[in-house]
Amino acid sequence: MTLLSRKADYALLILSYLHDRPGTARAVAEKFGLSRPFVANILKELCQQGFVASHRGVKGGYDLARQANTITLAELMETLEDGVRLAVCNPGTADHDACSIAGTCTLKGPITQVHNKLVEVLRGVTLAELFDARVEPTRPATLLGLTLMDSSGATAVKPSPA
């Protein structure tokens, strides 16, 4: 199960690039080895949703429309993916009534509680925190009380020392 769609995952990469500096679709595509039209489509949607501002002209390109510390991971996911949902039956989702066993399901309440906790965590993580916790080969980073370490190309997540 993947919580982040490919579009949201790449949108995060693009926003992390723009967090450090303004850029063009071409520069972002080259940095991450993506197709320029794919990056341009995501940038277009990020502009329409108010996450990115575009600038025309010779020195044109894109930059963040808002500070990364004012955007939560939940907001980005809810905007790009039509909401965050753990299951089809979660309240507030378009498919809330689509489950064929909703009337007899004994897990609907507990799954809703897990969903609510997940959304609460996502609402507590800003993009600035994610970008500041990027794992560099030479330094560990901390996010949500976890130490993120990169060694030999493998990323491990360990509890941070208290």
* SS (HEC) of 19-80: HHCCECHHHHHHHHCCCHHHHHHHHHHHHHCCCEEEECCCCCEEEECCCHHHCEHHHHHHHH
Q: pLDDT tens for residues 72-105? A: 999 999 898 877 777 777 765 555 556 777 778 8
Axis-axis angle for helices 36-48, 25-32 (nearest 10): 120
What pLDDT is recorded for position 107?
A: 85
Q: State the pLDDT confidence band at 162, using cuts at 50, 70 and 90.
A: very low
Q: How far apart are CA 51 and CA 132, in angstroms?
A: 18
| CA angle 5–7–12, rounded 5-degree value | 95
**How far apart, in whole angstroms, are the C-alpha atoms of residue 16 and residue 135?**
13
Mean pLDDT, all residues of the chain:
81
Show the domains of the chain with their CATH numbers: 6-134 (1.10.10.10), 135-162 (no CATH)
Q: Which residues share a beta bridge with 93? A: none
- Could you tell me the two tokens for 46? 């990020």
Share of the chain above pLDDT 90, in %: 41
- pLDDT score for 126: 93
Cα separation of the two ends of the chain: 31
- Residues with Cβ within 8 Å of residue 86, at least 6 apart in sequence: 111, 114, 115, 118
Q: What is the pLDDT of residue 97?
A: 58
Render pLDDT for 105-136 as a digit per residue (tens, 0 to 9): 888 888 889 988 988 999 999 999 988 876 55
Q: What is the pTM of this model?
A: 0.75
CA distances (Å), origin 64, targets 35, 54, 142, 148: 21, 9, 23, 25
**Range of weakest confidence among 5-9, 52-56, 71-75:** 5-9
